[in-house]
Amino acid sequence: MSNHAATLVAHKHPGDVEGVKIGMWLFLFTEMLLFGGLFIAYAVYRSIYSEAFHTAAANLDVTLGAVNTIFLLTSSLTVVLGIVALQKGKQKFAVLMIWLTVLFALGFMVNKYFEWSVKIHHGIYPGSPELLASHDKGEIVFYNLYYTMTGLHGLHVIIGLVVFFVVLYFIKRRPVVTEEMPFDILKHVRGGTRLAVLSEKGDELGTVAELDDKVELVDIRLTYEPVIEKMDPRNIIKLENAGLYWHLVDVIWIFLFPLFYLIS
Amino acid sequence: MHENDHELKYSTYIYVWLALVVLTWVTVFIAGLHFGNAAVFVALLIAAFKSSLVFAWFMHLKNESGTIKWMVATLFVVFAIFIGITFTDYPFR
Amino acid sequence: MSRHAVADAVRTQESYLDVKGRYSGLFGWIFSVDHKRIGLLYLGSVFLFFIVGIFLGLFMRLEQLTMGETLMTANMYNRLFTLHGVIMIFFFIIPGIAGTMGNFFLPIQIGAKDVFFPRLNLLSWWLYLAGAVLALFAIFSGEGMADTGWTFYVPYSVQTGTNVTLALFAAFILGFSSILTGLNFIATVHRLRAPGMTFHRMPLFIWSLYSTAWIQVLATPVVGITLLLVILERTLGIGIFNPAMGGDPILFQHLFWIYSHPAVYLMVLPGMGIVSEIIPTFCRRIIFGYKAIAWSSVGIAGVGTLVWGHHMYVSGQSSTASIVFSFLTFFVAIPTAIKVFNWVATMYKASIKVEVPFLYALAFLFHFLIGGLTGLMNAAISVDVHVHDTYFIVGHFHYTMFGGSVFALFGALYYWGPKMWGKMYHKKSAVVALVLQLIGFNMLYLTMMYMGYQGMPRRYYDHLPQFHDAHLVATVGSWFLVTGLLMMIGTLIHSIFKGEKAPQNPWGGTTLEWQVPTPPPLENFDVVPTITSGPYNHKEEAE
């Protein structure tokens, strides 16, 4: 009874993966509609200024955009591969996959940085005198939308990066078990006793220490790497949820790419 | 883990990724043909197809419960309505 | 919370108010993940803002007591109605029922021990607090509180020197808080219903909260990004709505009302849910048309997302859009009327026990009928063009939101208060407060509607001589109203500290919250009940 109640308060529904997923999907809905408002704005302005949008889009570098698309698609792949690896208990491979994801995400941001700096260098940024003077209204709207939407998307990439670092911390954290042997148990093993590690069959795997009379307390620290049975299933849920978020970031880019780069 | 019940294969996801990369190439290629306004619709169509691949496989939507599936459907219907009704305004100004 | 404390509390059915957790005193409240404590945290916070909002409204009425400058400058008046609107909408009424009564009773009514994400629930209250602190900063720093009206319409909200950016950011954070509540409720309803509690056996309050939760999740992000765009324009000059940069200010109104119109249903639906609980309890019978009322909540939420453009008939949107929106708006009347007819049908020939909560339910019906029917007038383009931006709209809005939703919340305080804090209220002073509220409310807002129809514009700090008498009546009405409200709050506070001990089921209610001790124990149920029938099973008592 007491155990039961305590777990309920500490972590209410550890087993209900479905509920956690519903929560995560609902959160994704709010993200989609956050961008949704911007997509509505895009649709409205494109219908008003379709010619100007064509002209302005010609200034965006399709190659850079395509490379970034491939980066994000590949990072999405590495995340799912990481989840499969974790489910199979291949923790090291999962970690490698997450690092690759992080690498592609960083690549995306570096690319974005160069893309934006070139634009800003040419005087194309929101409110710049050059933009306001030498471009017509439709093009100004295009660039305002471009900076807002890719900027908000970039912010989500950065948030995604942080999330992956948090997940990495949880996956790489290895359970360390420390057990303290009570003093009185040591009373009758005094003097020249060896402390050894035995296998299940009783074979001696190695000597840990020689105990003499000065020893009063023995700390045994067991450190083991998690295998699939020992792995905290919540880590898999964490990575899955991080993955869901990341795929959404990918999906939004899948739409941003053609809408901004491919309409010239 | 209930996840163990269905495929734990790396290869499926690699195929999906390959399809996504090919579709990216296709959409860039078509944009180069200068179809004009139709190009945008083709590009959006391809983008919608690509994202449904991501939803179904990468986000495991095809293995999710009916509840989550209809929730996602609700979202898209609501968003379509938002855009649709907004467009009772602008084209008729 | 230590293991032993929890175990003991569960074993002895100790009230959630007495459980000693890891922290005691104030920390035991603000760090508690218990849905009941969070519900009371919300109740305390929203009423604090409610009282501030009441006095802001009172000051506005006092300004209209005489012609010309009475108490304040026109500029101050602008800030006052902005603050009144922002506080009453974002800080009071949006979290007002879902955050308080919803948090407390949603898990109990479906037979759960808590909401699905208890810690997220606490986070949502903390976000509410963060929003409140930001709003305070917005009032007392720099150029002071915004003077744009609670709608923050561009281009003025971009041009004014007042603290609009901070106020918008506060609203953004509150939106996030509201989203988390909605998300939590949806997950809770889907995953934590007791065995046998099918959707069609859920109390109607839960149906209304569930529909509300969907609006919170699906509509709030849209206003979130809209407010962010205004912030971006103010700080970085990204003029998405700026005509000088090719933007369209009316697009702001579209995006704003895509959320803010469904938001009024978000405010009133839980109120309707409360009324659907109170009426069958005091009529001692199964509610008439359970499924119709349940699904009409979903219907209102659904149709409510299609009608935002009826706020924009005079904005310059296309006449095609106005016609479509007007047409769709009339449809909202259908599910609303279904509810009203079913409530009345439940009361018909019932052996009604008249108690304070029931009187509030009747007040709700009376006010909401006036508010709803004037809503139909506003939906008609020709009428709305005439009354747009007049006191008629202000009166209509207060009849639906204040006379409707908030009166339902008051009813809930008397109905569920004994369960929440385990004490009964003083009935006579509760009734006197209600009478004062009724007199004051109708004197104030009915007069406002009359003035509006004659052409008194909203948001003016002064009035023409022909409106003077009516303004006098309205202001005197506001004194009755405020007296009634303060008396009610006093009665409730008195009941908390000095009230008689409440029995487990003072009203003979049949839903699950009446089957747990008063006040409920920490985890609500010793044994999770198995549900075998619908929520309003009054049969045994009737026979």
Of A6, A30, A41, the CB nearest to C240: A41
Q: Is residue A7 part of a domain?
A: no
Of B1-10, C212-221, C356-365, minimum mean pLDDT range: B1-10
Beta bridge partners of C15: C521
If you write DSSP's letter for every residue of C230-261 in order, what string do you get? HHHHHHH---TT-GGGT--HHHHHHHHHHHHH
A258 at C interface, C-beta within 8 A:
no
Contacts of B52 in chain A (CB under 8 A): none
Of A40-49, A194-203, C218-227, C415-424, minimum mean pLDDT range: A194-203
Q: Give the pLDDT confidence score for residue C242 in this predicted structure.
A: 93
Same domain, B49 and B11: yes
Q: Give the pLDDT confidence score for residue C527 in this predicted structure.
A: 87
* C224–chain A nearest CA distance, Å: 7
A120 at B interface, C-beta within 8 A:
no
Tokens of C208: 């209304």
A133 at C interface, C-beta within 8 A:
no
Residue range(s) defining the domain that contains residue B89: 63-93
* B60–chain A nearest CA distance, Å: 9
C183 at A interface, C-beta within 8 A:
yes
User: Residue C199 gets which letter from DSSP?
Assistant: G
Q: Give the pLDDT confidence score for residue A223 in this predicted structure.
A: 54
Kindly give, in sequence order, each residue whose CB lies less than 8 Å from that of residue C187, ignoring residues fewer than 6 positions away: A19, A22, A23, A26, C115, C116, C117
Helix and strand counts by DSSP (H, E) for chain A? 9, 4
Contact C218 B81 (CB under 8 A): no
Instruction: Say whether pLDDT at A213 is over 90.
Output: no
At the top level of CATH, which class does the domain C33-542 belong to? mainly alpha
pLDDT band at A225 (very low <50, low <70, confident <90, very high): low
Nearest residue to C98 via CA among C304, C279, C270, C340: C270
Contacts of C11 in chain A (CB under 8 A): 1
Same domain, A161 and A182: no
pLDDT band at A91 (very low <50, low <70, confident <90, very high): confident
Helix and strand counts by DSSP (H, E) for chain C? 20, 0
Q: Is residue A4 part of a domain?
A: no
Mean predicted lDDT score pLDDT of chain B: 89
Amino acid at C295: W
* Residue recorded with tokens 């869901």: A244
Same domain, A206 and A239: no
The whole-angstrom separation of Cα C88 and Cα C93 is: 6
- Average pLDDT, stretch C135-151? 90
Q: Give the pLDDT confidence score for residue B3 in this predicted structure.
A: 45
Q: Is residue A190 part of a domain?
A: yes
CA dihedral sign of residues A54, A57, A58, A64: negative
pLDDT tens-digit profile of C357-377? Answer: 999 999 999 999 999 999 999
pLDDT band at B72 (very low <50, low <70, confident <90, very high): very high
Of C7-11, C402-406, C513-517, C537-541, minimum mean pLDDT range: C7-11
Residues 416-475 of C with CB under 8 A from A: none
Number of residue pairs across A and C with CB atoms under 8 Å?
A: 132
pLDDT tens-digit profile of C2-27? Answer: 444 444 555 567 889 888 777 888 89
Nearest residue to C412 via CA among C275, C255, C256: C275
* C137–chain A nearest CA distance, Å: 26
Contact A66 B28 (CB under 8 A): yes
Same domain, A184 and A87: no
Q: Give the pLDDT confidence score for residue C23 in this predicted structure.
A: 82
Q: Give the pLDDT confidence score for residue A189 in this predicted structure.
A: 59
Contacts of C308 in chain B (CB under 8 A): 85
Same domain, A124 and A211: no
Same domain, B48 and B68: no
Contacts of A240 in chain B (CB under 8 A): 60
C227 at B interface, C-beta within 8 A:
no
Contacts of B92 in chain C (CB under 8 A): 318-321
Same domain, A169 and A182: no
* B85–chain A nearest CA distance, Å: 11
Same domain, B38 and B76: no
Q: Give the pLDDT confidence score for residue A191 in this predicted structure.
A: 60
Contact A33 C218 (CB under 8 A): yes
The whole-angstrom separation of Cα A229 and Cα C98 is: 42
Is A83:A240 a contact under the CB 8 Å cutoff?
Answer: yes
Q: Is residue A255 part of a domain?
A: yes
Q: Enumerate the domain spans of chain C.
A: 1-32, 33-542
Q: Give the pLDDT confidence score for residue C10 in this predicted structure.
A: 52
Q: Give the pLDDT confidence score for residue B34 in this predicted structure.
A: 76
pLDDT, greater one: A203 or C137: C137
The whole-angstrom separation of Cα C52 and Cα C439 is: 22
Residue A221's φ and ψ, nearest 5 degrees, are -110, 115
Contacts of B76 in chain C (CB under 8 A): none
- Residues for chain B: how many in total? 93
Q: Give the pLDDT confidence score for residue A263 in this predicted structure.
A: 85
Is C104:C114 a contact under the CB 8 Å cutoff?
Answer: no
The whole-angstrom separation of Cα A175 and Cα A225 is: 7
Q: Give the pLDDT confidence score for residue A193 in this predicted structure.
A: 67
Same domain, B81 and B48: no
* B93–chain C nearest CA distance, Å: 5
Same domain, A206 and A238: no
Q: Please state whether the peptide bond connecting residue C155 to the residue before it is cis, i.e. omega within 30 degrees of 0.
A: yes
pLDDT band at C156 (very low <50, low <70, confident <90, very high): very high
Instruction: Say whether pLDDT at A116 is over 60.
Output: yes
The whole-angstrom separation of Cα C451 and Cα C453 is: 5
Q: Give the pLDDT confidence score for residue A204 in this predicted structure.
A: 77
- State the number of CA atoms in the 13 A half-sphere of C369 facing the CB: 10
- Average pLDDT, stretch C86-106? 96
Same domain, A256 and A156: yes
Q: What is the rounded (10 degree) CA torsion for B29, B31, B32, B37? A: 150
Helix axes C3-12, A2-10, angle to 10 degrees: 110
- Average pLDDT, stretch C408-435? 97
* A207–chain C nearest CA distance, Å: 39
Is A229:A88 a contact under the CB 8 Å cutoff?
Answer: no
For residue B87, give the chain A residue with the closest CA. Answer: A44
Same domain, B55 and B89: no
Instruction: Say whether pLDDT at C282 is over 90.
Output: yes
Residue range(s) defining the domain that contains residue A191: 177-223
Same domain, B55 and B74: no
Same domain, B7 and B52: yes
Residue C406, classified by CB atoms within 10 Å of its CB into exposed (0-12), middle (13-18) or buried (19+), is buried
Q: Give the pLDDT confidence score for residue B2 in this predicted structure.
A: 45
Same domain, B40 and B69: no
Domain count, chain B: 2
Contacts of B67 in chain A (CB under 8 A): 18, 22
pLDDT tens-digit profile of C457-468? Answer: 999 999 999 999
Q: Collapsing DSSP states into helix, strand and coil, what is residue A220?
A: strand
Same domain, B8 and B41: yes
- How many CB atoms within 10 Å of residue C491? 24
Same domain, A55 and A94: yes
Contact C317 B89 (CB under 8 A): yes
Same domain, A237 and A199: no
What is the Cα gyration radius of chain B?
18
- Average pLDDT, stretch C477-484? 98
